[in-house]
Amino acid sequence: MFKKLLIFIGVALCCSSCGIYSFSGTSIQSDVKSITINYFEYKAITVNPTLSNDLTEALRSQFRKMTSLEQVDMDGDLEISGEITGYDVKAAAITAGDTAASNRLTVSVKVSFTNKKHPEDDFTSKSFSAYSDFDASNSLDAVQSTLIEEIIEKLVEDIFNASVAQW
């Protein structure tokens, strides 16, 4: 048992000592120490007054949990900015009587990522979208907060992976 523990510790030290890979799935170079995550502007036609703040805070929280980067208000080694460009509800499944059986809430964002230390990792205005379906017998107001939580979780994962996991 002691040998297995030593082997595991050795492997963990080797992986973390290179400064590029981690067990969280990130590939952040060792010279990158800070990140600035700017507030996501709301530019969608349909208004959701809390979505910008909720998305921004969820992304900041993900970086706190999954990286050791210091979050700074400006001039971080990494910088993420974006805007919410779409907030749409459409029928997802139609019944024989041409009525909606379920509806789909879709949120779309455009994100720019800047890596000041390694500009080859940059991307500009990359589009991301996520959706969640709900029963058409429910009003959007009744299920919106739950749907938004699911959608934000998906968007944050996609943005995180595209920026520092490079998936």
Residue 20 lies inside a defined structural domain of this protein: no
Here the CATH number for the domain that contains residue 112 is 3.30.160.150
pTM for the complete prediction?
A: 0.81
Residue 26 lies inside a defined structural domain of this protein: no
Note whether 113 and 162 are within 8 A (CB): yes
**Centroid of chain to Cα 72:** 18
Residue 19 lies inside a defined structural domain of this protein: no
Q: What is the per-residue DSSP string for 113-135?
A: EEESS-GGG-EEEEEEEEEEEEE
pLDDT in tens, 41-72: 999 999 899 999 999 999 999 999 999 999 99
Q: Pick the residue with more confidence: 8 or 153?
A: 153
Residue 12 lies inside a defined structural domain of this protein: no
pLDDT above 90 covers what percent of the chain?
71
Question: Rounded distance, CA 72 to CA 58, Å?
Answer: 16
Residue 16 lies inside a defined structural domain of this protein: no
Residue 62 lies inside a defined structural domain of this protein: yes
Residue 92 lies inside a defined structural domain of this protein: yes
Note whether 32 and 63 are within 8 A (CB): no
- Number of folded domains that form the chain: 1
Average pLDDT, the chain: 86
Q: Which domain does 51 fall in, by range?
A: 31-165
Residue 130 lies inside a defined structural domain of this protein: yes
**pLDDT number for residue 5:** 44
Question: Rounded distance, CA 105 to CA 16, Å?
Answer: 40
